Structure 1
Amino acid sequence: MVEATISKEMVSSSSPTPEDLKKYELSMFDQIAPSMFIPVVFNFPPGDDTISSSSFRLKNSLAVVLTRYYPLAGRVSDDGKSIDCDGAVPVAVAEYKEKRLSDLMEEHLGSNKLPRILLPCEAEFDTEVLPGSRVLNVQLNYFACGSLAVAVVFWHKAVDAAV
């Protein structure tokens, strides 16, 4: 079992979403695309920052980004054809005080368990995306060695690599 101290909070965009942009209609192609969550984990080597200053800077950067990419700060609508943009994204911060990232990777080598440990929410390809689900979820994973793993889980209908 991997022990971690986890805190959760909502990060709001640095400026409110204008009223006329609060509902983001999906294109016809996005409406017929598979409805699933996509997980991505980015690993970074140790840096000079403390956990608190690093997470503060990352959350502030996210707040600025959400102003321009406002659909990321929203929920799946009841009919699944649009995004209700409320200007906030859940962010979890996990601190593994006694684990190095390399230890964790070795323990789970050859299994698909490692991503699940680092992810902010359930993100299997067959996980049903329910109305009210967040479009974007973020988790910052800090390790004893100083490494950082930033995990994001996003709704495929809102974010994909096809464009």
Structure 2
Amino acid sequence: MAKEKKAKEKPDRKMVAQNKKARHDYHILDTYECGMVLTGTEVKSLRQGRASLVDGFVQIDGGEAWLHNVHVPEYAQGTWTNHSARRKRKLLMHRDEIDKLDSKSQESGHTIVPLALYFRAGRAKVEIALAKGKKEYDKRQTLREKQDTRESNRAIAAARRRQRAQQRP
């Protein structure tokens, strides 16, 4: 049943790259899905599953959203039409979303980071997030909470196994 729920949440989503470090380094406040303006060789390289979002960020310049520092390697069979690997790419978003992001990102400590790069219905999409940087103690606290949750789940599972074993004989 859980698989059915996941399928309904994110239909036909072919993941290319994820930025797991962003979820560790930032508090995610709001997420947006947007398209990208790409060249042909970039799309072919992405379809091969090759990209890195690690150093990426979004900057709003002149009322347009631009994705910087995302590494899409050159297409192996590309010729003189090949793209540069770290060029800035325009994001396709609604005007009100761009204005909202621009005003919120101006606040102290807020930034816009890419979380995932994927294909949906044959179109390349990027999931971006308005985020606030975590302090070092926040990161430690998050790791501690994950560890505590994992340990409690293990203890509960062990207790259930013991209970089932006692009921069987």
| TM-score (norm. length: structure 2) | 0.25
The higher-RCO structure (CA 8 Å, 6+ apart) is 1
Higher-Rg member (1/2): 2
